[in-house]
Structure 1
């Protein structure tokens, strides 16, 4: 089993209380994860991530349309092999922030 795995949740989960769960990146050894979700604020989609080990919320980016959220997810899936190779959650967080900037 791989140490890091990516579990896509979106679009199978619908909006709950103005949030949409997108995906989790799981460290199978430590049983910790990075949860990535979208909050809907003022008709914008704020993509956030939470490291379940620390509980801090980090804003990845703000997107205007649901189609932009789809594009963000596509970028993550396209880069999932590289993400799984990264051994440190803080570096995975940086990688996701980079994806959010482009």
Structure 2
């Protein structure tokens, strides 16, 4: 499993009624029903929708707006807190401050 610094997107794009709508990522089971971000109810088809280029549908403007708002909110909240101060570190390695006392018998 590949992991990144940010959690996976909570939504995915779903073709329905002639447009690409955003639905919760977990809505995948054939026959399952759910709501899009624009509020439309959709049913996961038993037959997969057409692929590119036949499945290239326009994006629902309301879903797109709601998705962008969600992305902006997620960008404002740091996933793992602030990054540590690395201004005193050398290129890729750890450096010890010259004013920091050393333990007896340990050389740097």
TM-score range, shorter chain: under 0.3
Structure showing the higher strand proportion among its residues: 1
Q: Indicate the structure (1 or 2) with the bigger Cα radius of gyration.
A: 2
Structure showing the higher helix proportion among its residues: 1
Structure-1-length-normalised TM-score: 0.26
